[in-house]
Amino acid sequence: MPVIQNILVVCRTEPRHRIMLEEALPEASFTYAGPDSASEEAVAEADAIFGNLPPERLKSAARLKFLQLNSAGTDGYTAPGALPDGVLLANATGGYGPGISEYMLGVLLSLCKKLHCYRDQQHRALWQPLGEVRAVAGMTVLVVGLGDIGREFARRVKAMGAFVIGVRRRGTEKPGYVDELRLTEQLDELIPRADVVALCLPGTAGTRNIMNRGRISEMKQGAILINVGRGTALDAEALCDALDAGKLWGAALDVTDPEPLPAESRLWNTENLILTPHVSGGFTLPETHDRVVQLAAENLAAFARGLPVKSIVDLETGYRKL
């Protein structure tokens, strides 16, 4: 059984969260700091770390046995040599789905009902109907990526009356929250069927530019694109071209490449594009913050007691081990 004496917490915590952690491991000693402000000594002494310590700082973590990220994304932690040998890596999948999926439904409905355009009119005190809107009920929604976030979004949009096609890397047993299950390699034939393409993908080599110019051009006339995974999944120039050409009804991006998005980017001003500064997840929702700390407390306690840890990351793929 690994000895877990010193735990370094670089994830932001409220007093209620510190109680949760310390009650889960009464025998351990906790140090709280920021990812950058944590002392070299605290890193060197840590048996376990909770939070996204910058990967370059991990080299100093000589005693580290377990790293619990506070994010679902594992970018930077799975590269060869990023982690000291023998360190177990877990992410915070499961914490973000409920919050991000509500955001996704919110931007989808905003686009469908033209709420972004009405917001602009409101500032000009303009009482003017803007014509036809769209219904989510009856739409075909392609959810690309069926992790925690994609799954929760699929559930919600299905409850609204959409026909949901879920796309994942592998597995063929259709879960109840989608109407149809497909594999990533079938993406090209699925895109032309979709009224909505929703990308909920982690940032891995396999997802880079997955929604490239060719695939955007194969989208249905009047379709909608949503991206909440990583900005790198999408050809942003091709998306702007498709919106400018009136091919798409609209798009919503919570992630861009790079972030923060430079002020001169074309994305800011493209019509019918809703842009938010990577806020669909994070700890903007208090319930998410609580869930992530709860998961960390359970995992730290389990690891210290030699029990199974949840959401271990496969360093080969960057995904959770199944």
Q: How many CB atoms lie within 10 A of CB 163?
A: 18
Integer-rounded Cα Rg, in Å, for the chain is 21
Of 205, 262, 209, nearest to 231 by C-alpha is 209
Q: Which of 155, 168, 230, 291 is catalytic?
A: 230
Q: How far is the CB of 220 from a second copy (least distance, A)?
A: 16
Instruction: Compute the distance between CA of residue 301 and CA of residue 14 in angstroms, rounded to an integer.
Output: 19
- 272 makes contact with a second copy (CB under 8 A): no
- 149 makes contact with a second copy (CB under 8 A): no
**Nearest-5° Cα angle at 212, 106 to 269:** 50
- 257 makes contact with a second copy (CB under 8 A): no
Q: Of these, 39, 59, 62, 138, which contacts a second copy (CB under 8 A)?
A: 138
Q: Of these, 17, 65, 156, 230, which contacts a second copy (CB under 8 A)?
A: 156
One symbol per residue from 93 to 112: x for binding a second copy (CB under 8 A), - otherwise; what is it?
-----xx--xx-xxx-xx-x
Instruction: Compute the distance between CA of residue 132 and CA of residue 134 in angstroms, rounded to an integer.
Output: 7
- 277 makes contact with a second copy (CB under 8 A): yes
- Residue 271 appears among annotated catalytic residues: no
Helix or strand run (H / E) with residue 187: helix 187-190
- 271 makes contact with a second copy (CB under 8 A): no
Q: Which of 169, 193, 213, 278 is catalytic?
A: 278
- Residue 22 appears among annotated catalytic residues: no
Residue 314 gets the label, from left (phi > 0), alpha (psi -120 to 50) or beta, of: beta
Q: How far is the CB of 106 from a second copy (least distance, A)?
A: 3
Contacts of 60 (CB under 8 A, 6+ apart): 40, 43, 44
| Sequential DSSP letters for 33-65 | --TTTS-HHHHHH-SEEES---GGGGGG-TT--
| Binding range to a second copy, per CB under 8 A, among 16-24, 56-64, 117-125, 171-179 | 117-125
- 134 makes contact with a second copy (CB under 8 A): yes
- Residue 116 appears among annotated catalytic residues: no
| Sequential DSSP letters for 247-310 | -EEEEEES--SSSSPPTT-GGGG-TTEEE--S-SSTTSSHHHHHHHHHHHHHHHHHHHTTPPPS
Helix or strand run (H / E) with residue 18: helix 15-24
| Binding range to a second copy, per CB under 8 A, among 33-41, 132-140, 233-241, 308-316 | 132-140
- 141 makes contact with a second copy (CB under 8 A): no
One symbol per residue from 160 to 199: x for binding a second copy (CB under 8 A), - otherwise; what is it?
xx--------------------------------------
- 133 makes contact with a second copy (CB under 8 A): yes
Q: Which of 259, 271, 287, 305 is catalytic?
A: 259
Instruction: Compute the distance between CA of residue 39 and CA of residue 34 in angstroms, rounded to an integer.
Output: 9
194's tokens:
């979709």
- Active-site residue numbers? 230, 259, 278
Interaction site with a second copy (CB under 8 A)? 98-99, 102-103, 105-107, 109-110, 112-113, 115-116, 118-123, 125-138, 156, 159-161, 259-261, 263-265, 268, 274-280, 282, 284-287
